Amino acid sequence: MRHRLRLLIASMIAALALGAVADAASPRKASGGELWWSYLASYDDGPGSIRLDLNRYRHAPLAEYTHLLITGSAYASSQPGGLPEPADVQRLGALSRNTFAAVRAVVPAIFAGSFTHGGEQQNYLYVKNTVSSKARIDKALADFYAKACPGCKVRSNYREDAGWSVYRTFLFPNLQTREFYREQLKAIGFVMPLAP
């Protein structure tokens, strides 16, 4: 899915959904020089929100983290384009953090970001691949989702992405999106790269 920011629509979405993604929208500095930021964009089939560590771009790809795990769950929503209900944002954020913790407990992993769109939240984690990585991840996720989100529709995909192309071309905002959010990015101290 390619970014296609439509400035007017994104502005309207931001105005409507700001309350729904307020927790995720504020930048958060964490240890290790991370800079977490969320943005809204318009896609062919509706609005979506991406949350990512912007500073990860400067170091991606990391040679040992060659495989991408995309995992998440569906949620109920009556919001425009399937964005989460304001009351569900905290739960989804906690579910995202706890999903990462469950995976990291069985295999070295880096949380690259999440995509919330159309009634689904997908988490993007880069993991070190070993012969037993996928089996350990599958078991950890099955156990985790059974306890943390019983009855949830869950989806996971595990594939090679040694160049971190999904992070660099999907999660990381394209030039048009960075231009749209220029002042916000400047205010949080993010120096925009010229590419991608």
Residue 74 is predicted with a pLDDT of: 92
**Whole-prediction pTM value?**
0.83
Residue 196 is predicted with a pLDDT of: 53
Domains, the chain, ordered by start: 7-187 (3.30.70.600)
Alpha carbons within 13 A on the beta-carbon side of 149: 23
At 46, phi and psi to the nearest 5?
130, 180
Cis peptide before 61 (omega within 30 of 0): yes
Residue 79 is predicted with a pLDDT of: 85
Residue 193 is predicted with a pLDDT of: 64
Residue 114 is predicted with a pLDDT of: 96
List CB contacts of 1: < 8 A, sequence separation 6 or more.
43, 44, 170
Average pLDDT per block of 10 residues along the chain, 196 residues long = 39 36 44 83 89 90 94 90 89 94 96 94 93 89 94 92 95 91 91 63
Amino acid (1-letter code) at residue 42: S
Residue 131 is predicted with a pLDDT of: 73
Question: Which residue in 82, 63, 62 sits closest to 74, CA to CA?
Answer: 82
